[in-house]
Structure 1
Amino acid sequence: MSSFIGSALRGTFFLVFGLGWSVKYPLKYLSRTWNADSRASSWIKKLDVLEGAAKAFFALAGILAEQFIPSGPHMGLYSKESQSWEKLTNWQYTTMYLFYGLSGIMDVLFYSPFKLSLGLDRLLLSVAMFSEGFLFWFHDYTNNALGQHLHSLLLIAVFGGALCALMEVFLRDHTILEFFRTSFFILQGSWFWQIGFVQFPPWGGRGWDQTDRGNFTFLTLCFFWHYAAALLITAANSVSSHWYRKACQANFGNIDVELDWGFCFRKTNQSSDPVLLPEDGLDEK
């Protein structure tokens, strides 16, 4: 839906997963570095399945919102009365959510007994992001030059994240690729919010002036400020995880403090000292 609420919902979708990844992937990296046991691996798998289910749920909610709002197409694609297409913008956003929903389903099936090929989850995520990018690329921006500029900048984040996800099909669990994919997702989320404020101010009134070239220049600067913030957030969470690791890795005498999927627990070493047992028998008289 072409409104502030629609743009905010899309932005929230990407922010939730981007910010979640900025915490998840550093912890996942630490669990691999520390040769964590099967309990950590089990928590990672459960988190991946939960993430996939959440992605599919939010995608379904987005599809329903785009289709069944009062001004939506209500699953109607072509009107025989007017002999024209119905609400193609809503259908474009519906298609975007559809592919992200398929990506979420694949995330869940990846850990199912079907034994799917390694990398299929990243491949479906890459397909979803490429689909999103081409949908915005071929969107009709008639009489909306500023909107076209805003979405052209958005394509940098979309295609950048899509390329990272595609490379992860072949370079599984690559820390740098995960870092940049996360930053691009956060950038998408914040920029969708920015688009909402520019084109559909929540306080009412018209959007920004389409003829002022200064707006184009400022928004280009603003886009890269958004990306700088996304990189700082991702880096800050990575550094915080590293410091947390240092704190949890400290040894205190016979107590080892370790990281077990984001939580510290104390493990006392078994003592090798002999244990004195009471003697059986009667006391001597």
Structure 2
Amino acid sequence: MGSFGGHAVPGGFFIIVAIWWIIQLAYTTAVLDNGRKRPRSRLMQCLHRAPIEAGLIIFGAVAGIVVEMAYSEPILVLIDKNGEWQNDVEWGHCSMYLYFGLYGFVKTIGATCVPSVARYEQAFGALAYSVEGFLFYYHTHGRSPLDIHLHSMLVFAIFVCFLSAAGEIWNPDDILIRLIRILFTLVQGTWFWHLGIVLYRPPSGEVWDGEDHLNIMFTTAFFTWHILIGMLVLFVIYCSTKLVLKSCGISTVQYSETCNGREELEIKLLGNTSD
């Protein structure tokens, strides 16, 4: 969608998912001790098995497709009566959402009825990022140099997400790779907003000169600032989540330590320090 909303919707989607991932990582490290502990109560076990993340991704994908198709005129038309292509931008965005929806669907299946499918989650995540990058790489044909440069920065962030998601196929427990994926997913989201603001809603009210070399150079600097701010935001969210969990969120929840798949010791996190 060639509008501010068309960039704000996917931007919001990636921001929300990245924030969810960093909170989930904080919970995994602070409460579950990187998988060495698991909840004892049935309620917590059900919440662990519930495909919350997958549902969030599917909802975002469906919402994005609905918004794209509702905006286009005529709705859901690929070729008009004259044999000409219609809504090329909208169909491209819908293709991106479709693959992320597929990723969410695979995660849902793996978390519910077919656990063996879970091993393919990272592969479908990498596929979704690769399709997104492919679509946006060819998204700016015939546009101004500034528009092309803005989207090239987006493609760079997508490429890093793809590499990290692909790395998780072979190293699913590597926290550093996961953090890189989370960071650049967040950068994608904030950059979508930045792109939409520059092209469609500049704060000054004046459209940026698409041929001005200084605008292009400062766009590069802005992108590096997005990375730095993203690192700071994720750090604050991560530390805040761990602090809340340790101070008040998990003191009454019982967990058990596991060793080679067997329960060995029932503990109460932060609830018993008498030993």
Range of TM-score over shorter length: 0.7 to 0.9
Residues 54-74 of structure 1: per-residue CA shift (max 9 Å, x gap): 2111211111111122x4441
8 Å Cα contact 1:62-1:94 kept in structure 2: yes
TM-superposed CA distance for 1:25, in Å, is 0.9
Who wins on radius of gyration, i.e. which is larger? 1
CA spacing shift, 1:59–1:118, aligned 2, 3 Å: closer
Instruction: Summarize the alignment of residues 2-41 of structure 1 with structure 2, pairs less than 5 Å apart.
Output: 2-33=2-33, 35-39=36-40
Letter in 2 for 1:189: G
Give aligned pairs, total.
258
Give the corresponding residue for 1:108: 108
Residues 228-252 of structure 1: per-residue CA shift (max 9 Å, x gap): 0111112223333455576579xxx
**Gaps (5+ residues) in structure 2?**
256-267
Instruction: Summarize the alignment of residues 1-285 of structure 1 with structure 2, pairs less than 5 Å apart.
Output: 1-33=1-33, 35-39=36-40, 42-46=46-50, 49-69=51-71, 71-81=72-82, 83-201=83-201, 207-243=207-243, 257=251, 267=271
* Mapped partners of 1:259, 1:207: distance in 2: 55
TM-superposed CA distance for 1:8, in Å, is 0.9
8 Å Cα contact 2:106-2:117 kept in structure 1: no
Letter in 1 for 2:3: S
TM-superposed CA distance for 1:211, in Å, is 1.5
* Mapped partners of 1:133, 1:4: distance in 2: 20
Q: 1 or 2, which has the higher helix percentage? A: 2
- More off after superposition, 159-168 vs 240-249: 240-249
CA spacing shift, 1:245–1:57, aligned 2, 3 Å: closer
**TM-score normalised according to structure 1 size:** 0.81
Give the corresponding residue for 1:275: none
TM-superposed CA distance for 1:267, in Å, is 4.1
* Mapped partners of 2:97, 2:142: distance in 1: 24
* Mapped partners of 2:56, 2:105: distance in 1: 10
**TM-score normalised according to structure 2 size:** 0.83
CA spacing shift, 1:266–1:32, aligned 2, 3 Å: closer
3-state DSSP of counterpart to 1:33: coil
8 Å Cα contact 1:119-1:168 kept in structure 2: no
TM-superposed CA distance for 1:133, in Å, is 0.3
Letter in 2 for 1:92: G
* Mapped partners of 2:273, 2:182: distance in 1: 39
* Mapped partners of 1:157, 1:258: distance in 2: 41
CA spacing shift, 1:260–1:6, aligned 2, 3 Å: farther
Q: CA RMSD in A?
A: 2.8
* Mapped partners of 2:253, 2:154: distance in 1: 38
8 Å Cα contact 2:183-2:230 kept in structure 1: yes
TM-superposed CA distance for 1:162, in Å, is 1.2
8 Å Cα contact 1:136-1:151 kept in structure 2: yes
